[in-house]
Structure 1
């Protein structure tokens, strides 16, 4: 075994060793991430990269690979998001140099200005940049080069790479903090000596030169990040919060050098002040970064559910492979007790799977031959061999993680307004600092300098900029723990104002698990025809009809769906329609006896599904459904909160009314088509804020029309894609939890904004009045951000009300 990683060169020990085939040769790697990246590099025909590692030529941008690598389709593929437009590409990058709201504004403005870029969204809380661009008009490498020119070197986001970047940045930050702490402690001793009179006489300049020797490397090593960020911003004609900090530090330092060299009659130098506030600001940023990471740990904890490697069966041999290197159709062996690494279908073995972390289902689910299994769930006592059907980002777990992370990129109206204010905030800081200096200069130059420096340091838009996005990020994490996915962050603001709640019936208020309660005595042929067609439908009734069939399924063609009405298909050149009576019986052929019988059955709470050929009505099947246990309590609680509740269903009036009566719901709309549902929501919106909750394809128009919407996660992909919030549990109690979370989030946002404004309104005048020293300003400024983060973190605690 080699002792170093073939990719990154780090030490490889027995506990972290991962082997992979590279051009038919086995190599050792320190982790699955390195193995996966190395395979991608060779598969893209870029293997020469490893021969260039000994070259003295340095890349123009500080990245792990040369820029041209990131334009290779094979290299981009694992990082790109799925889009409906083939010419559009969306990727998430990560940069460890994003640290304030002004950085967000600067990056978005600069990247959006590039031709070919559709939009840019920067997330301050997790330092990620989500970019959409047009393929063929601009390359990813050009975007990354522009970011690097601004001082924000970024790489495609991947969990293991992000961890390496974070660990590297933390280590560098700790080195800088440690060095600044060492010089600060020594300067404190020198200050004590000076203040006790030890510097009088011939030792006076000796102590000052000693201060200069300690402050100079501290400013240009520990404080280099501030200086570089400020320079890059000014070079591009844009300002961030490192500009005033750098001006304050450099002004104080060079004035002290000016005095030290004898160009001033003043005798006081402020090298200790420079070192002290650099140390304190570094500590503040480190604590702020740690607090952010702790507060928004939801998506990271979800990602930890997916194993990094899997046991792949190739040509009868077992090999441990990185997840990203496993292709569709490959076979994976899952041993008892292991976490399932990929989405797939069982091709050998029987076991149970605990899917509670993904779906909220409390009991293990039996997995037999042909059943689906999902990444992140835990295998039971049996061994399973599965065939991979979805790659990492397309898996159920991958989609959940993407939903959580993308929510944090979606900006609410409040955040957008704050982002516009931030640049003016920085400009106002510089303006106020100049006024302060001009005012105090005639009285005392030293006082004017220190007061202006205090203004530059203490004015903090970071707390203001973090007030809303931090609260939304923590709320999203808290929702995930309760099996709720917030897709649109505006839902948190709107849910608190909702006064009318509209429920779909089937699969939402009811279980959606139907059973056939009535069928004609000679129904075998009818059920075979209906089941053969319903097999291709996503409607909740389809499964019950399909399971009722005891014969071989017939071959169908020309399958068509009319949402809210029914489906049709051709069997043996004969067209059949299945659905509501008005859909299948356009010529009014149904007999009176059959009609009366169906009406009698529906009055008892069952739903009748009709089937007709081109020439006659073949009959109907009745199915019944049960109301969800917690529907009674959920509806009652909503009504107690003063909200109006409606049922909006495509089912018959009799069946819908029965459910409404059971739940004490007065407003009932039945036999509604998809467009009818959207129109009903539109009418309510004239006087109300409406929440729509549904699970079917025919609910999608209403979900889009409503002020905010929720979809039951077990429902159709269409409803899930169009809803603002996805409930992974099939129960209704999370609706109440989500409304409570929305109310608490809005309260926290208001508290944070009020605090951020109050802080600046109070502290800036004090600094201008020379009542605040630069050191005190450096201590208070990061504390204000930590208070905002700590207040937002309270959302992680469950509401006990």
Structure 2
């Protein structure tokens, strides 16, 4: 277990466990509270929808076996979470509940005939005692077999020193059963038996719990759909022979054959073959992408035409698909700040329920014992914090799943709540508002310079850089059939946000901004600088080149606006959201882009290390800031912002630094993410309101003896189902 399912960081261990027996918010509270008190436990978070426990602990202070035993002492069993077996475990639990449910249903149907007989007059003659004993025979196994989950949960909580929501149910059933047994054994002619109430309550509550679990599972089915994208087996080539191998048995360096129509099982590099791969799951690109030797492929994508031989480069747990699933699961199990209200109320809910039931019994007992008994039982059954406890996690779970389906990966619930309150969006320019695909529009050289020679030297230097500008220059040189790759380049050095420097054939070469050349003591050519101002006013970027301390050329680069940038900016402007364009490019270029978008505040010529200072300044002015970017130099600003949003085309550093990742590389997803966050927060507030209204109406009615125990058992799960149904409505957000 330690090796296969646990991740280690020194002595700190981290594992996800599948916990059986979780059915309500009180269970979540009990498990988290119980484990957080254990020695060495640093984190214990329960995902109610998925019945999963995220556990992090110091292995020097506690072993995993000790923590699992501590969990079992409070009434819950746990096994390591494995996506392949989790579904089977959930189905097994559901089958066990169905057996209990069917048994209770059978008893309830037969009990109905007995109740009809007793209410029809049989309770007045010699058959009264006979029917009471038959009812006892039916109710006893129903209570202790079908009602076993209630007693297990109640006793587990009491052993841990906590009151669970199973306790009022178990108490209500036990008291009603005990009084009915007393009447039956003593043959009391004045008392009534309520065995039908016991069986009907058990049956109805089990139905409610089964429906809750089923609807919860369906509401957060996005994770299941993602898991289904991962093939269970792969065709591994060993000594020229195809071997069908379980996906967990595929190792790094193995060669996997992917036939046409098959789903790619691993992340790797194509060694042989040519095909087109459907990557819509990851990139949102509707057309298949051509794959040749040297191209990368990702697990979960679909090979459409030719066969591919792929070398495995990433372990199963580190594939892009696995990371997406992990992000969604972490978001679904996270807690938003608004949930603090529910977490504060739930621990006291059971105690208040017991007090209300006792008060009801004593008030009504002075008039009629049986009315007092039924009213108190109704109070015990009808009061439930489940709806309140599920108000937030269900909404976040559904929203996270919907976001993942549309390429919006939300890392935790806090982000959704914060994004709904954002008042100021800051956009990076290159690769965010623009396509980020720089291309050389033209090149101008100073008088007396050889254009082809200058371009060859520029490309030779830029091939050592990873910047998008460098790729544009080298691609332009290749289009012009320049042979620059054999040119010897020495002492290459890049200065982030300014430019690069190197030595070529004894000559010092500089490429970068005008400020970079000035900083290096180069005097700008007046004519070239005049041209640069004209191009920058049209939204083009210019790279200045110096050779042997002389400004010799100007390379003009063009980058088009994204097709969806205008619509997104217009809709945000209509919504009254402030926007700022933040760029390291020259101010005329940035202002030209802002002008094309209808105008917005521009902060230009900002060095990478200063971007987070701009964000901090906006925050100091009272703004709640979201930063949208895609480059390495955006990472500090993404971390500093209240919400960091990274486009999926961005670098790994940027994605890791972001709170939301837009996998489909579409800018309109920023607006969709904002809409999703606002809808989620509104739904959470609605659910909390519904749960309060339910308890405010039904508890007083039960205390007034206006609600029977059976009616209480019916309305209790309905309140939870209403919350689940309302949360599920979030899935309709993007439907047209």
What is the TM-score normalised by the length of structure 1?
A: 0.86
Q: Contact between 1:645 and 1:665, CA under 8 Å: does it hold in 2? A: no
Unaligned runs of 5+ in 2: 446-450, 479-483
SS at match of 1:154: strand
C-alpha distance in 2 between matches for 1:283 and 1:613 = 81
Following superposition of structure 1 onto structure 2, how do residues 657-736 of structure 1 map, counting pairs within 5 Å? 657-685=591-619, 686-736=621-671
Equivalent position of 2:325 in the other structure: 401
Structure 2 length normalisation: TM-score? 0.93
Report the equivalent of 1:93. Answer: 17
CA spacing shift, 1:148–1:588, aligned 2, 3 Å: same
**Residues in 2 aligned to 1:735 and 1:322: alpha-carbon distance in whole angstroms:** 39
Question: Aligned equivalents of 2:511 and 2:262: distance in 1?
Answer: 44
1:318 is aligned to 2:242:
yes
1:429 equivalent in structure 2: 353
Do residues 529 (structure 1) and 460 (structure 2) align? Answer: yes
Q: Give 1:730 shift.
A: 2.1
Which residue in 1 is equivalent to 2:725? 790
Is residue 124 from structure 1 mapped to residue 48 from structure 2 by the alignment? yes
1:96-133 CA deviation, whole Å, 9 max, x = no partner?
Answer: 31111111111111111122221111111221111122
Within 2, Cα distance between the matches of 1:563 and 1:139?
A: 47
Indicate conservation of the 8 Å contact 1:569/1:576, yes or no.
yes
1:388 to 297, 312, 330: 312
> Residues 209-230 of structure 1, C-alpha deviation per residue, up to 9 Å, x if partnerless?
1111111111111111110111
For 1:544 and 1:762, how far apart are their aligned partners in 2? 68
CA distance in 1, matches of 2:46, 2:477: 53
In the TM superposition, what is the alpha-carbon distance from 1:191 to its structure 2 partner? 0.4
Of 764, 774, 781, the residue aligned with 2:716 is 781
Q: Could you tell me how far apart the structure 2 residues matched to 1:258 and 1:617 are? A: 105
Pair 1:617–1:427, CA change in 2 (3 A): farther
Shift of 1:187: 0.6
Cα contact 1:260–1:269 (8 A) shared by 2:
yes
| Matched residue, 1:754 | 689
Q: CA deviation at 1:620?
A: 5.6
SS in 1 for 2:14: strand
Q: Which whole-Å CA distance do the structure 2 matches of 1:759 and 1:567 have between them?
A: 67
Match of 1:456 among 380, 390, 393: 380
Correspondence list, 1:58-457, <5 A:
70-71=1-2, 73=3, 75-76=4-5, 80=7, 85-262=9-186, 266-457=190-381
Which one of the candidate residues 655, 676, 679 is aligned to 1:741?
Answer: 676
Per the TM alignment, residue 434 of structure 1 is displaced from its structure 2 partner at its CA by: 1.3
CA distance in 1, matches of 2:78, 2:494: 46
- Establish whether residue 488 from structure 1 lines up as the match of residue 402 from structure 2: no
Counterpart of 2:520?
587
How far apart, in 2, do the equivalents of 1:88 and 1:494 lie? 30
Aligned-pair distance for 1:697? 1.5
SS of corresponding position for 1:91:
strand
Q: Give the conservation status (yes or no) of the 8 Å contact 1:528–1:553.
A: no
Distance 2:432 2:412 in 1: 21
> How many Å separate the matches in 1 of 2:717 and 2:500?
62
* 2:472 corresponding residue in structure 1: 544
Distance 1:617 1:315, change over 3 A: farther
Deviation at 1:498, TM superposition (A): 2.4
Structure 1 gap segments, 5+ residues each:
1-69
| 1:237 shift after superposition | 0.5
Cα distance in 2 for partners of 1:660, 1:203 equals 90
Whether the 8 Å contact between 2:254 and 2:312 is mirrored in structure 1 is yes
Stretch deviating more after TM superposition (707-716 or 282-291):
707-716
Conserved? CA contact 1:527–1:548, under 8 Å: no
1:642 matched residue in structure 2: 576
Matching residue of 2:481: none
**How far 1:525 sits from its partner (Å)?**
4.1
Q: Which moved more, 1:616-625 or 1:276-285?
A: 616-625
Asked whether the 8 Å contact 1:306–1:341 carries over to 2, the reply is yes
Provide, for residues 381-400 of structure 1, a one-character-per-residue CA deviation record: whole Å limited to 9, x for no partner: 10000001111221111111
CA 1:547–1:767 in structure 2 vs 1: closer, same or farther (change >3 Å)? same
CA–CA distance in 1 between the matches of 2:506 and 2:157? 70
Secondary structure in structure 2 of the residue aligned to 1:284 = helix
Q: 1:175 to 1:640 in 2, by over 3 A?
A: same
Instruction: Give 1:532 shift.
Output: 3.0
Taking the aligned partners of 1:289 and 1:573, their CA distance within structure 2 comes to: 74
Separation in 1, partners of 2:553, 2:584? 20
State the Cα distance separating 1:643 from its structure 2 match. 1.6
**Deviation at 1:673?**
2.0
Give 1:199 shift. Answer: 3.6
Contact preservation (8 Å) 1:530, 1:545 = no
The 1-side partners of 2:132 and 2:50 are apart by 42
Q: Would the aligned equivalents of 1:512 and 1:541 in 2 still touch at CA under 8 Å? A: no
Worse overlay, 581-590 or 744-753: 581-590
Equivalent-residue separation in structure 2 for 1:165 and 1:290 (angstroms): 14
Offset of residue 430 of structure 1: 1.1
1:17-36 equivalences in 2 (<5 Å): none
Distance 1:792 1:585, change over 3 A: same
- 2:561 corresponds to 1:627: yes
> CA shift at 1:658, angstroms?
1.1
Q: Over residues 178-206 of structure 1, what are the superposed CA-to-partner deviations in whole Å (9 max), with x where a residue is unaligned?
A: 10001111111000011111243322111
Give the alignment's Cα RMSD to 1 decimal.
Answer: 2.5
Q: 1:600 offset after TM fit, Å?
A: 4.2
d(CA) in 2 for partners of 1:395, 1:435: 58
CA shift at 1:300, angstroms? 1.0
Alpha-carbon distance in 1 for matches of 2:403, 2:210: 27
